[in-house]
Homo-oligomer: A and B are copies of this chain.
Amino acid sequence: MTTASENPTLKMRQLFDQETWTHTYLLYDSENGEGVLIDPVKEKVDRDLNLLKELNVTLKYVLETHVHADHITGAGDLREKTGAKIYYGEKAAVPCADGLLKDGEELAFGNYSIKALSTPGHTDGCTSYVLGNMVFTGDALFIRGTGRTDFQQGSSEALYKSINSKLFTLPEDTLVYPGHDYKGMWVSTIGEEKKHNPRVGGGKTLKEFVEIMDNLNLANPKKLDISVPANLKCGQTA
């Protein structure tokens, strides 16, 4: 694994949608300008297009961590405007995607490639993306939290396994960039989450995790009913 410090032309930008507290990530190679966006938000497409233009980035791929239930993706609009290809993890099986990534499969941009890591549990198609010393965990692992598992094929057992057998086996200093963060902390590390995550850290057992998840009693996301159908069309419903 290469680290950011070994890759001076690898640039990353964390972008934020205040309506849904969603993080979008731009990764690009400043040498040749090729880049990818992870989890763009429909309402922020103009901002993101403007940033791509100002940074001279050619958008090669839009990567989705999963079929979102809380916001509508900007993927379709970005594809239309830039020609970028849309990828999901294999089990997301979204009809509008240009490709589905198997566990461990990589996509190249510039001098770099980003690797899909199947991390089901929040949804069964959830995929994290690894590049250098960064992992983009979508709604699998949050900072001191996890994605919920109570709808959309959610499974606490699967999520526990994804976090412990996949994410927690990455190097401890790997930077964790989640799909959301509701405490304004923005980034963590694998080492920190292994120690301090109140749901899965400190050696919590599967039984303890399932009990925590079973007792969250969360309300459904406000945009659930419109987001999922819209996202199966890559955010383009018109």
Contact = CB atoms under 8 A, between A and B. Distances in A.
Contacts of A5: 4-6, 8
A14 B195 contact: no
Interface string A178-197: 00000111110000100110
Given A4-B5, A5-B5, A5-B8, A184 B51 contact: no
A208 B44 CA distance: 29
A16 B184 CA distance: 4
Contacts of A8: 5
Contacts of A13: 185-187
Interface in A1-55: 4-6, 8, 13-18, 44, 47, 51, 54-55
Nearest to A182: B18
Contacts of A183: 47
B55 A192 contact: yes
Contact of A184 (B4, B44, B55, B196): B44
A235 B5 CA distance: 38
A77 B166 CA distance: 40
Contacts of A6: 5
A153 to B, nearest CB: 30
A3 to B, nearest CB: 9
A54 B192 contact: yes
Contacts of A184: 15-18, 44, 47
CB-CB nearest 9 A-B residue pairs: A16-B184, A5-B5, A54-B196, A14-B186, A15-B184, A18-B184, A15-B185, A17-B184, A47-B183
Given A5-B6, A55-B192, 12 more contacts: A5-B8, A13-B186, A14-B186, A15-B185, A16-B184, A16-B185, A18-B184, A47-B183, A47-B184, A51-B185, A54-B196, A186-B186
